[in-house]
Structure 1
Amino acid sequence: MLGMLRKTYTVELCPEVQGRLTHNNLPLQSQTVIRSLTYNDDEIVDKCITGLDGTFKFPKKSIKSRLPGNVFHEISIRQILFTEFQSQELFIWLACQRETDTPKVFIRLMSKLNAELTTEEQVYELENKQLSASPFRVRTLCFLESYQG
């Protein structure tokens, strides 16, 4: 009975995502983009297909959970967006967050993920304003201009 009274929390797994895929600076149309979101041991996977101009879009994704109310629970959300191209998995975005709310820097950057598939993947360290000793690490094909804060 007490378990039914426990509070549920909104856990933001991913903000709205918009991006564009190019190969040799040409739009990559009809390319599948896969989004994998993991919280606790649960994984949610969805897909979209790029348009004629290489653009893709995913809606914001949140879930309800009682886990954040458990003092022994450590929040860990993994976000992966990737595509398979010429027999390779290429990461458009791979990051983790440790809060139930999406970091503002993720919201801003994921609203314009423009990936050129011929570039090398980069790893960026983004400022974590809530926990400055623990920056966010993002693995991506995208050039993240002005990515701080």
Structure 2
Amino acid sequence: MRIGKILDVVEAPDIVGKAMLAMGTTPVPHMVTPDDATVHWLLPRGAAHRRPWPWARISRYVRVLTSLEELGIPGTDLTDGPGPHWAYPEVWGGGHLADEWLVEDLAVCTLMHLGQPAQRCELCPEPLWAEDGVRVVLPRSPLRTFPSDTVRVHTQCARTQGLT
């Protein structure tokens, strides 16, 4: 199936797929690829781009693939086996396409099994992971209000802005 022009694909480690099934809140199936221990959800083209920040927060654990040429998709009745197959949730909604809200359940599962999601850097739009960045004191400005004068930012962002 040609993916890049009609669908986006979300790829995650297989432990996330198992956790999603156990959680039971996502009514769409995912594909299991045992050879590389990954799972895949199908999204309508552009769905992930409607909510970019939630996807960026879990980008260390989950990839949104938008430029795949092709992806092998097993028949919808293939639910077991050594090769690619579908894993259906207990409460299946009847479709095979997830929507951009899939990210909410993925965030819960990645937090439980893989680690903390990223926070937003106060100086740029890129994700800031827990072990990265520095704390800086921002100069007071009537246009920007923060809960405190000290915020976490990327080290490079702090250097670029001349902050200490």
Tell me if TM exceeds 0.5. no
Indicate the TM-score class for this superposition, using the shorter chain for normalisation. under 0.3
TM-score where L is the length of structure 2: 0.25
Structure having the higher strand fraction is 1
Larger C-alpha radius of gyration, 1 or 2? 2
Structure having the higher helix fraction is 2
